[in-house]
A and B are shown apart, each in its own frame.
Chain A
Amino acid sequence: AQKVTRAQTEISVVEKEDVTLDCVYETRDTTYYLFWYKQPPSGELVFLIRRNSFDEQNEISGRYSWNFQKSTSSFNFTITASQVVDSAVYFCALSTYGQNFVFGPGTRLSVLP
């Protein structure tokens, strides 16, 4: 069975702090894809990243970085120097060939000024 869990339900940080959101997944497939989405208070779901299981390189995009570790089945997301606009619910998702996306339960991040 495919599954995505998170370590934290809610995280609260002060602006400019670094914060890491954890994503742990479970699948028996060797080929799979991992995603992160952001849902700000306005409600829309914004795509952030897609990563396949054969590419274990960490990725950096501005203040965002992702750490993929196959050995621990984790795909963690770090925001460096957090800003108030980063406040949102963040979802990790898993997809495998022919199967529906499985979304994790989401982590609510609050960045305080």
Chain B
Amino acid sequence: DSGVTQTPKHLITATGQRVTLRCSPRSGDLSVYWYQQSLDQGLQFLIQYYNGEERAKGNILERFSAQQFPDLHSELNLSSLELGDSALYFCASSVDEQGSNTDTQYFGPGTRLTVL
């Protein structure tokens, strides 16, 4: 158990809908990262938050957005869903005290999103 929690574990929805994925980082971790892993694909970095502020953006679509709240939990919002958005979405957290992005990232169990 990494200490990172994600809910829900599974989500099935229809095209055009909007969903919210939730992540609670390990206690004391300031950075939260979101990744997308499509079937048989590698890990695509989406976005990072550090202590409530957006720190870095990767290959995140405009239909997707995220935020990190004062208690450091984070939510990833996916809207106008398409079939191609079906994937495993991971959240990771790290201490990242220095803001260097080199600390170990600990991953949550993931949310499997299926868009029908």
Task: Give the interface residue-count category, chain B.
Answer: 20 to 34
Contact B104 A106 (CB under 8 A): no
Q: Is A91 an interface residue (CB 8 A)?
A: yes
CA distance A37 to B102 in the complex (A): 15
A106 vs B35: C-alpha distance when bound (angstroms): 15
Spot the interface stretch: B61-69, B74-82, B106-114. B106-114
Nearest chain-A residue to B57 (Cβ)? A100
CB of B45 within 8 A of CB of A100, answer: yes
Which of B90, B92, B101, B106: most chain A CB closer than 10 A? B101
When the two chains form the complex, which single residue of A45, A97, A99, A106 contacts B107, counting CB atoms closer than 8 Å? Answer: A45
Shortest Cβ distance from A106 into B: residue: B42
The answer to whether A101 touches B109, judged by C-beta atoms less than 8 angstroms apart, is: no
Tell me whether B42 and A95 are in contact (CB under 8 A): no
Please name 12 pairs of A and B residues whose Cβ atoms are closer than 8 Å in the assembled complex, sorted by A.
A32-B102, A43-B112, A44-B109, A45-B43, A45-B92, A45-B110, A46-B107, A91-B42, A97-B102, A100-B48, A100-B58, A106-B42
Whether the Cβ atoms of B102 and A44 lie closer than 8 Å is no
Cα separation A96 to B56 with both chains bound (whole Å) = 14
Question: Is A25 interfacial (CB-CB < 8 Å)?
Answer: no
- Which residue of chain B has its CB nearest to the CB of A52? B102
B15 within 8 A of A: no
Q: Are B58 and A97 in contact (CB under 8 A)?
A: no
Q: Which residues of A contact B (CB under 8 A)?
A: 32-33, 35, 37, 43-47, 50, 91, 95-101, 103-106
Chain B positions within 8 Å of A, measured between CB atoms, are 2, 33, 42-43, 45, 48, 56, 58, 88, 90, 92, 99-102, 104-110, 112
Chain B residues, CB < 8 A from A101: 33, 45, 101, 105
For residue B58, which residues in chain A have a CB less than 8 angstroms away from its CB?
A: 100
Interchain nearest-CB distance for A3 vs B (Å): 12
A101 to B104, CA, bound (A): 10
What is the distance, in angstroms, from A26's C-beta to the closest C-beta of chain B? Answer: 16
Bound form: Cα–Cα A101–B94 in Å: 12
